[in-house]
A and B are shown apart, each in its own frame.
Chain A
Amino acid sequence: MQLSPDDVRDVLRVLDSSGLDEMHLELADLTLTVRREGASGWTVEQRVHREPVLVEDGREGAPEGDRGPGAPPADVPEGLVAVRPPLLGTFYRAPQPGAPPFLDAGDPVEEDTVVGIVETMKMMTPVHAGVRGTAVEFRTGDGEFAAEDAVLLLVRPAGDGATGG
């Protein structure tokens, strides 16, 4: 259960007339703290502890979240540099479905070369190589989810003397 806005309003009326400043309620399924804030304001902090009641639908396989942690962050071979996402999200290698990828393994990259896009909360953020060199291998596929520490791409940096970029 959760207290409805009407329930909370009733609680506030009781508190208001009682002169109390705070009330803490603890039930099996719910904890609720109501506090007087300033002259006329009130806040409510509510937590519903009730466990979701999952319907058995006979479908195979465990939910994604129950599959345990994903593959451990891949090792970065010596001499290569990992390109990681600017923030976690779904990685796309092309600007839109069906379009050619921004980049393929073997292609040269500059620091500002766009190697893909990360979609987070329906917002698109470009991923830049961040290093000058050659793309070696994509470690995250198109449409795959990338955690913040995921390796999207391995790049072999250009040799010494190329730091002026």
Chain B
Amino acid sequence: MASGRRIRRLLVANRGEIAARVVRTCTRLGVESVLAASDADLRSLPARLADRVVRLGPAAPSASYLDPAAVVRAAVAVGADAVHPGYGFLSENPALARACADAGVVFVGPDPGVLAAVGDKLSARAHAVAAGLPVVPGGEATDLAGARAVAAEVGYPLLVKAVGGGGGRGMKLVRDPADLAHVLDLAVSEAAAAFGDPRVYLERFVASGRHVEVQVLGDGTDAVALGDRDCSVQRRYQKLLEEAPAPLLPARLRRDMAEAALALARHLGYRGLGTVELLVDRERGTFSFLEMNARIQVEHPVTELVTGLDLVAEQLAVAEGLPLRLRQEDVVLTGHAVECRINAEDWAHDFRPSPGQVRRVVLPAGDGIRVDTAVQGGSVVPPFYDSLLAKLVVHGTDRADALARARAALRLLRIEGPATTVPLHEALLADPEFRAGGVDTTFFERFLGAAGPRPVGVR
């Protein structure tokens, strides 16, 4: 929220690599950082990097990183001017934004009203339509008759999506009209249990889609587009590798997508950093609005490498109420960047999670190489949170150069202790279909089937 107030002391209400990432910008800008850490994270690398650490609560996320009252209490206790929520957890939670405002603390993110508007999938869709964006054909289904009416318009196969879902959660595919009633019932009860909101809507299923997203930054009045990213390499809707810019997009389509993202940001009076997720239909050569993420994203570094910007610094500036510091013509994209997410998972055993002690961390270094991580030798990876250990981000003159550098860097990266997805990325970067560029979201399962690890004798 805009404050017209300098941020001198920032509470970082998150953990892992993004906490370390935010602290790094604070150090560079001379902003005092206070990390709000759960009991499981009090001795983590981000806790050692932050100027100070305040206890947030027990290890369980519901009692710490997911508790708005705990975050505001910590912010007030340390006298923080602002709270940076990172991604995930409470980063898009209107209740935290409101509670911060009530406590006189700046929330580094959009206004609560905007968070609510884009957090509800139906409302986000309505705003997208109002801003002139194409959406995937579909609509709300309050009962079976309504669902049948929508289904008649969009055709099969279709997706039943929870209004409160997102990021792939709360989605069901229906191929046969005979299954609609049964899936609808199931979706409604699961949505009520998982999201506390039973509403669902129906959408056309796009068989071959690419996940391309546009990074925007707004100051509440105007907005700039900071290029696009391709996040089509996903397993069960979890992104594994991202790149910027999205490869092999016709120039006109790319420009239309950036314009659409800006139109939505302006329509919302958006203040903050945000991502407009778009689905590119490979067969039709069109795009449609999926959702808007009102926070910094895991994959933001690929945008930073091609734009030369520090997106956390830009977040802090607009949160202070400053107008945008750059015009659209100042945004110049250079080269190509790719990010490999290194997770504590064993891909040879169905991506089995691998928490525990990290013995040693050796990272590649040099021009065009960046590793964002929250682990070092001696770190403990707790079982309570997600499995992201590090992000290898590589910048090259073009896509081929970036991929070659990423392969060379991966060979030098060693995280000893937990099983990691480094071998997965080595195989992925060697895959001909991936190397050709422009894969759709079904690519990764195909790749796993063809190039996946053999459980016996894998080293």
Binding site for B on A (CB under 8 A): 2, 4-5, 8-9, 12, 34, 37, 40-55, 57-59, 63-65, 87-90, 96-99, 120-123, 143, 145
Contacts and interface: CB of A to CB of B under 8 A. Distances in A.
Residue from B40, B55, B383, B385 whose CB has the most chain A CB atoms within 10 Å:
B383
Interface stretch (B92-100, B170-178, B362-370): B362-370
B383 A47 contact: no
Contact of A48 (B49, B52, B365): B49
B40 A48 contact: no
28 contacts: A4-B24, A4-B28, A41-B412, A43-B364, A43-B412, A52-B42, A52-B47, A52-B48, A53-B53, A54-B55, A55-B53, A55-B54, A57-B55, A65-B43, A89-B353, A90-B60, A90-B383, A90-B384, A96-B190, A98-B193, A120-B355, A121-B384, A121-B385, A121-B387, A122-B387, A123-B353, A143-B60, A145-B59
Listed from nearest, the 3 A-B pairs whose CB atoms lie closest are A52-B47, A64-B39, A63-B39
Given A64-B58, A90-B384, A121-B386, 10 more contacts: A45-B362, A47-B378, A48-B48, A52-B35, A55-B34, A57-B74, A87-B352, A96-B194, A121-B383, A121-B385
Contact of B42 (A48, A63, A98): A63
Contacts of B27: 4
B422 to A, nearest CB: 14
Given A57-B74, A63-B55, A47 B377 contact: yes
B52 A54 contact: yes
A65 B363 contact: no
Contact of B361 (A37, A45, A89, A90): A45
A121 B376 contact: no
Interface in B191-214: 193-194
Nearest to A37: B412
A50 B44 CA distance: 11
Nearest to B78: A55
B5 interface: no
A47 B48 CA distance: 10
B435 interface: no
Contacts, number: 131
A87 B194 contact: no
A63 B74 CA distance: 15
A88 to B, nearest CB: 6
A47 B375 CA distance: 9
B360 interface: yes
Interface in B35-92: 35, 37, 39-40, 42-43, 45, 47-55, 58-60, 74, 77-78
A46 B387 CA distance: 21
Contact of A45 (B45, B59, B352, B360): B360
A64 to B, nearest CB: 4
Contact of B355 (A8, A42, A88): A88
A67 B66 CA distance: 23
B436 interface: no
Residue from A8, A53, A96, A97 whose CB has the most chain B CB atoms within 10 Å:
A53
A54 B387 contact: no
B316 interface: no
B344 interface: yes
Given A98-B193, A99-B193, A88 B383 contact: yes
B386 A122 contact: yes
B316 to A, nearest CB: 17
Contacts of B367: 9
B128 to A, nearest CB: 29
Contact of B363 (A45, A53, A120, A123): A45
B186 interface: no
A59 B55 contact: yes
B448 interface: no
Contacts of A121: 344-345, 353, 355, 383-387
A134 B163 CA distance: 42
Contacts of A12: 365-366
A105 B183 CA distance: 33
Nearest to A6: B28
Nearest to B387: A121
Nearest to B27: A4
B408 interface: yes
Contacts of B411: 41
A64 B377 CA distance: 23
B39 A47 contact: no
Residue from B43, B78, B409 whose CB has the most chain A CB atoms within 10 Å:
B43
Contacts of A2: 24, 48-49
A54 B377 contact: no
Contacts of A54: 42, 52-55
B113 to A, nearest CB: 29
Contacts of B49: 2, 48, 50
B383 A120 contact: yes
Contacts of A123: 351, 353, 387
Given A2-B49, A54-B55, A65 B366 contact: no
Nearest to A31: B377
A10 B410 CA distance: 22
A154 B138 CA distance: 50
Interface string B403-434: 00000110110000000000000000000000
A45 B60 CA distance: 31
Contacts of A97: 193
A54 B35 CA distance: 9
Nearest to A52: B47
A43 B366 CA distance: 8
A96 B169 CA distance: 14
A56 to B, nearest CB: 9
